[in-house]
Structure 1
Amino acid sequence: TPGWDLAGNAYLRRFSQRYVDGNDGNFENCSTRSNFRGFLCYQDDGFTAAPGQTQAQFRNQFLLLGAGNAPIPFRAGIPCATLDTVKTEATGWGGSLQATNRDRLLDHGNTFILGGSIDVADYSFKSASLLGLINPDLSVTTNPLNLTYGLVPGLGTGPLRTAAALGIAPSSVIGSNLSMGLYALDTFDLTEQLSLTAGARLNFARIATRDLTGFSPDVTGTRYYTRVNPVAGLTYRVAPWLSLYGGYSESNRAPTPLELACANPNRPCLLPNSLVADPPLKQVEAQTYEAGLRGAVPDFYEGGLLSYKLGLFRTDLTHDILQVAVPGNAARGYYVNVPATRRQGVEVAAEYAAERVSLYANYALIDATFQFQGELSSPNNPLASGDGLIRVRPGNKVPLVPEHQIKAGFEVAVTPEWRLGMNVAAFSSSFFRGDESNLNRKLAPYALVNLTTSYQVSREVQLFGLVTNLTNTRVANFGTFIEPSAAFANRYALTDPRSTTLLQPLSVYGGMRVTW
């Protein structure tokens, strides 16, 4: 209608993934106290029975069973591992609808927005482990590639699990997600220069999961999360090309199915794609404050538009969700809520766009810190206590969040049809995951150079290309800790618990876009 605009979208997505991964198993000969001496056990040392736990329950949480639920004989000198298979299937659909009205209110400019969204997904997760071994080249297989190992009993048997299905067990979970939101937002011009914005959003989430194995009945259940998030702000137009702004907003995030079903340290998961029993997690809640200036200068140079922004922000989160490790197996872990974290900093950005050339640059200072005092599990951290805990204090940096981030790039029209561009991204150092106490050496800073190009064949057809990591930079952008294991002693003597993942190497992509 003359006063209302209506906009919306709808989507349908299908996702299917299967992969195999090899992991150190931390297996050993069952101890004499377990009555299973001579068979393979999982971490059968340094533990005592929990209060109320029978001796049979205590022993069964270590004994490994293979095909036919048979115990697996132990053989000295064999670097045992697990060959883990994970399969994920998901079908999602949803959409959003938004109505906007710009009629004047009380003879003042006014913009009113009313909208809603719905997102639905059905999913399934399956994982299982086979008994494998670590070869001299560090590959994990179910058949020995080193003839000196000879015949290894139990290789390839599975699905592998402990007798009590603790620590290692197959999983099979199905479930569904439902997320709905309803929001309203109004911007009212108090004067020609000053505008007030206020609104709120109601979020609702339902996450239902069901265990199909019988090993993890605690997975089965339905959890609900709701919250009303307000927003308010002021904008003052100092000049046509300059505005000052300030605001406050709240938001929330419900835990994902993976986080919900992998939150029990007694049943750690194959991360990040396996689901087992759990206690419930709380939703993450955030309070954000921001202020700054922004604007746009038309006809800045050769008819181009210059836009810019300088902003300060602070976001305080309660019940933030972290992933932590369990003793003896870097591949398995669980998720926990922590009382409070904070992200605060500065954003500076500028962009120039003209007919034949465009360029941009932005910088972000992100001070991400913990705002509580307590202990977290990090058993492979070399500075952890004897029971595998590290102490977190207010002001400690959140791992894997570079404090300084710079991005810049340009694109130029070589011809009316052909465009060529380059962009650079640089990141400062950050702490390893598992070093929430900030006591170890950090990951090194790094920079990436990428190229982009496109050719407009016709109004409907465009060819495009992308080159990432043009200089083939070999530096790590992720780090965590592992347990140096005697399993590698036949070839590698590992003394450093740091483990890193390198950047994706030089890569070239090409494709075609068709629009009509």
Structure 2
Amino acid sequence: MGIINCLVLIVCILVSFVSQSYEEVEIIGISPNGPKVSEERNAPFSGTFINERKIKNSKQDDSTRLLATEVPGISTNSVQNGVFQDDLIYRGYAASPLVGVPQGLSVLVNGFRMNEPLGDELFWEIIPLQSMKGIGFISGGSPLYGLNALGGAVSYRLKTGLDFTDYELTGLTGSWGRNSTGLEAGYTNPTRNFGILMNYKFYDENSWREASPSDYHSMYLNAAYESQKFDLNVGYIHGNSELTGNGVVPAGLLALERDAIFTAPDVKSAISNMIFLESNIFLENDDRIELGGFFRLSNSKSFNGDSSELSLCNFSGGQGILIEGLKPNFFNLGLSLDQVCGPANIFGARNPDELEAALESNIGIEFDLDEVDDDEISGTGRLSDQAINNQSDKKQNSYGIRLHWFSDLEIQSIKAKNLVGAEWYEGRTRFSSLTELANIDPFTRSTEGLGLGTFLNEESTVVATTTNSSSIFLSSLIETENGWTTSIGGRYNYSNVHIRDKSGVRPELDGSHKFSRFNPEIGVSYALSANQSVYIRYSEASRIPTPIELSCNEDTFRVAREFAIARGDDPEDIDFECRLPNAFVADPPLEQVVSKNRETGYRIQKGRQLLEMNFFHNDVYQDILFQSTGRGTGLFGNIDKTRRVGGELKYLFINDFLRFSSSYIYLEPTFEDNFLVVSPNHPRADSAGRVAVVKGDMMTGISKHQAKVNLDLYESSRIPISIRTQYFSGQFLRGDESNDLAKTDDFINVDLLIKIKFTKESNAYLQINNLFDSKYESFGLIGEDPRSVLSNLSGDDFRYVSAGAPRGAWVGFSYRY
């Protein structure tokens, strides 16, 4: 808490405002590309804008890292612990590249939806940060930014062919074998009404962790034309990546080796191509019609080597058999596998049923053992209980169109800026997955090249999904001369989700769902004086359950068991979990998620200083919770109500040699219902693998306190220096929704950037992340017994954590001509 007290003290000391002109600020619109307030201090909402200059000066490749350092209240969770694979978190809402993370932030590029259709997941690496003209973030649920904007929206705006007319070459090299190069070139005709732009970026690194290389290529092309009657903007984005994120590791292993991995590989390769078109038709009285459309094709494959929950038993001394249900408690017996289920096992058991009875009667531990029959496997028939390879293939198409009409109206002292729009979006996915038995290298703990060619049939899936959404919306921004500004609007969404089995053997996967809702928004601000104002805002936003969520929840397994009985199968063989993203089962409905947001704030701007504080109260109804049953398994369920209550404080001070900005957020994210949550690896779980959550328990994976201090020294000098400091308090582990266990530790991270300017646009720089080499963990969850892979670790420590990267240093350059 020391840094928080210091931050508050600094703010109090510096609130003696000086009288100088405040720097120009670009205002965020109340909707993507929509009306903007005349002055930032009059905005009836809270937001942050990062302009092109700040993006370039940050020298960042990853937009999530840029947002986490520059936007108050934003943090990241490194679940995969790999580059471009962080979850972006704001007030407990997430935007994530992982299938299975409930997505509560809307992410748009030029107003076009970037969430993929299967699980609303994102490919951060294909968003070309180096080509950005600006990034806007608006806090609180905003219906006008579309589905998923429960907690806010990130709106990226790309440069056009008319925004850049030079050539620029960039490069970087340094720690962990990280290298990147970039080239940007632009051309405009002599009359400057037509231009083209090209930007290419290459990035690769070996990573600070073992066996975790990553690389990507991205390219952005744009052509733009402007005239007095209309404009046209056509863009193409290409991304090709292979990212390794070997995930969390047992806390006991991390204590021995901070760069260690638990199992490997965990690789995601993706190729994405997106084309978009925008055109404004200019009418009389500054009215205009905007037309837009996009098409995106994304193909991705994942390969994940993981520990196996199966046990290879050999009761007769002949061909072994695979048994489910023995491993979870096997390590507590203090016996070898041969002693438990070998030819001369100490129980005299000749098959799984006899072993189950003997274990319960002799040891007093209840087991539910099940043999994997011959018809449940295919391929070579070679068996192993060491590991599995989860392999998936996703082909996703997304496309949409929009029509916006903008009009300005002025009646005496009232000015109104209006937007009426309609949008249509559709996403199609073809998803297939396989689970292969594998051996594992005892030294590298990798399954690469060790697959046996034997597949578990029940884990295989071939499914097609279609999600489409139509919406109409309107917004009006009304400003009066007596200091009142009002924004009012709403959006009606109508959505369909269809899931179809394509294997021909699992018709229970088929399902269709419809969702509809109107979400309103109203905000009012009042200028108390020429330099201070207050505002109040109420908004609602929603998101629909994704196909992956609809296919993996508690009711899912009830339906799946009913189909098993109808087929004559044993319903107890249905696993009460999904292995993400490699599992689909039957398709009962989940409810759509609705957030109701209230926010009030105060701003004072005088000279070159700005102070803003706000308080928020967000209730989310039918929130979808991912219930973790292991490192890569779990299921989804609706929670009647969750709540996020807190406040933010922001301060900015600028003079001729210093730019100082600071922020602090206090957040209480709580469950507002009593319920049982699935968490079988929790030390206090009941016999059914559940723990009790009571109203008021904190949500997991979220820091209660966050503070940021950014310092830019001598910006106009030849050697400017930037320091970024972040503080995050500890968070409860995923799987500990009952708050019974200790949080992760608080931590502070400091980054340093020193530049040497050769010309106004050309420079070299030194970048140091984690300057003081802090040892910290940014995320944690409750996982399975680690002794299935590393027998020397303690079975009492069920915590898996994500280690923060150690100190790293890079040198780079930017040359423009």
The TM-score, its normalising length taken from structure 2, stands at 0.52
Residue 379 of structure 1 is matched in structure 2 by 680
- Whether the aligned pair in 2 keeps the contact of 1:28 and 1:44 (CA below 8 Å) is yes
The 1:222/1:356 distance shift into structure 2, 3 A limit, reads: farther
For residues 86-123 of structure 1, the C-alpha deviation after alignment (integer angstroms, 9 at most, x for no partner) is 33333334465544433223652333232344443333
Alignment of 1:26-45 (within 5 A): 26-28=309-311, 38-43=320-325
- Whether the aligned pair in 1 keeps the contact of 2:628 and 2:734 (CA below 8 Å) is no
Residue 308 of structure 1 is matched in structure 2 by 611
- Whether the aligned pair in 2 keeps the contact of 1:284 and 1:318 (CA below 8 Å) is yes
SS at match of 1:2: helix
Q: Which moved more, 1:96-105 or 1:427-436?
A: 96-105
Residue 237 of structure 1 is matched in structure 2 by 527
Q: Write the distance in 1 (CA, Å) between the matches of 2:421 and 2:813.
A: 34
The question of 1:158 aligning with 2:416 is answered no
The 1:258/1:421 distance shift into structure 2, 3 A limit, reads: farther
Q: Write the distance in 2 (CA, Å) between the matches of 1:183 and 1:423.
A: 39
Q: Write the distance in 2 (CA, Å) between the matches of 1:197 and 1:514.
A: 43
The question of 1:19 aligning with 2:328 is answered no
SS at match of 2:455: coil
The question of 1:286 aligning with 2:592 is answered no
- Whether the aligned pair in 1 keeps the contact of 2:298 and 2:396 (CA below 8 Å) is yes
The TM-score, its normalising length taken from structure 1, stands at 0.79
SS at match of 1:156: strand
Residue 730 of structure 2 is matched in structure 1 by 429
The question of 1:68 aligning with 2:378 is answered yes
The 1:344/1:5 distance shift into structure 2, 3 A limit, reads: farther
Q: Write the distance in 2 (CA, Å) between the matches of 1:504 and 1:488.
A: 24
The 1:101/1:358 distance shift into structure 2, 3 A limit, reads: farther
SS at match of 2:378: helix
Q: 475, 479, 500: which is aligned to 1:210?
A: 500
- Whether the aligned pair in 1 keeps the contact of 2:378 and 2:456 (CA below 8 Å) is no
- Bigger RCO of structures 1 and 2 (CA < 8 A, at least 6 apart): 2
For residues 213-254 of structure 1, the C-alpha deviation after alignment (integer angstroms, 9 at most, x for no partner) is 345433333322221001123222101111111121111011
- Whether the aligned pair in 2 keeps the contact of 1:3 and 1:103 (CA below 8 Å) is no
Letter in 2 for 1:322: L
The 1:203/1:244 distance shift into structure 2, 3 A limit, reads: same
Letter in 2 for 1:222: S
Q: Write the distance in 1 (CA, Å) between the matches of 2:807 and 2:662.
A: 23
Alignment of 1:73-84 (within 5 A): 80-84=386-390
Following TM superposition, by how much is the alpha carbon of 1:65 offset from its aligned partner in structure 2, in angstroms? 5.7
Residue 52 of structure 1 is matched in structure 2 by none
Q: Which moved more, 1:417-426 or 1:310-319?
A: 417-426
Q: Write the distance in 1 (CA, Å) between the matches of 2:583 and 2:767.
A: 33
Following TM superposition, by how much is the alpha carbon of 1:27 offset from its aligned partner in structure 2, in angstroms? 0.9
Q: Write the distance in 1 (CA, Å) between the matches of 2:642 and 2:736.
A: 15
SS at match of 1:103: strand
Q: 123, 127, 134: which is aligned to 2:433?
A: 127
- Whether the aligned pair in 2 keeps the contact of 1:131 and 1:142 (CA below 8 Å) is no
- Whether the aligned pair in 2 keeps the contact of 1:170 and 1:213 (CA below 8 Å) is no
Residue 70 of structure 2 is matched in structure 1 by none
Letter in 1 for 2:640: P
For residues 160-190 of structure 1, the C-alpha deviation after alignment (integer angstroms, 9 at most, x for no partner) is 23xxx2xxx1123333332333221223357
Letter in 2 for 1:317: V
Q: Which moved more, 1:202-211 or 1:185-194?
A: 185-194
The question of 1:397 aligning with 2:698 is answered yes
Alignment of 1:110-189 (within 5 A): 110-137=416-443, 139-141=445-447, 156-161=452-457, 165=458, 169-189=459-479
Q: Write the distance in 2 (CA, Å) between the matches of 1:250 and 1:183.
A: 13
For residues 399-434 of structure 1, the C-alpha deviation after alignment (integer angstroms, 9 at most, x for no partner) is 011000112213355557875423122110110000
- Whether the aligned pair in 2 keeps the contact of 1:363 and 1:405 (CA below 8 Å) is yes
Question: Where does structure 2 lack aligned partners over 5 or more consecutive residues?
Answer: 1-283, 330-351, 354-367, 558-573
Higher helix share: 2
Q: Write the distance in 1 (CA, Å) between the matches of 2:406 and 2:755.
A: 35
- Whether the aligned pair in 1 keeps the contact of 2:321 and 2:371 (CA below 8 Å) is no
The 1:221/1:415 distance shift into structure 2, 3 A limit, reads: same
**Percent of residue pairs bearing the same amino acid type:** 22
For residues 44-91 of structure 1, the C-alpha deviation after alignment (integer angstroms, 9 at most, x for no partner) is 69999xxxxxxxxx9988547676368766xxxx75221222333333
Letter in 1 for 2:322: L
Following TM superposition, by how much is the alpha carbon of 1:16 offset from its aligned partner in structure 2, in angstroms? 3.5
Q: Write the distance in 2 (CA, Å) between the matches of 1:431 and 1:31.
A: 42
- Whether the aligned pair in 2 keeps the contact of 1:342 and 1:368 (CA below 8 Å) is yes
Q: Which moved more, 1:330-339 or 1:92-101?
A: 92-101
Question: Where does structure 1 lack aligned partners over 5 or more consecutive residues?
Answer: 49-57, 145-154
For residues 185-222 of structure 1, the C-alpha deviation after alignment (integer angstroms, 9 at most, x for no partner) is 22335771334432211123333333323454333333
Q: Write the distance in 2 (CA, Å) between the matches of 1:508 and 1:117.
A: 45
Report the RMSD for the aligned CA atoms in angstroms. Answer: 3.8
- Whether the aligned pair in 2 keeps the contact of 1:309 and 1:350 (CA below 8 Å) is yes
Following TM superposition, by how much is the alpha carbon of 1:477 offset from its aligned partner in structure 2, in angstroms? 1.2
- Whether the aligned pair in 1 keeps the contact of 2:416 and 2:477 (CA below 8 Å) is yes
- Whether the aligned pair in 2 keeps the contact of 1:40 and 1:71 (CA below 8 Å) is no
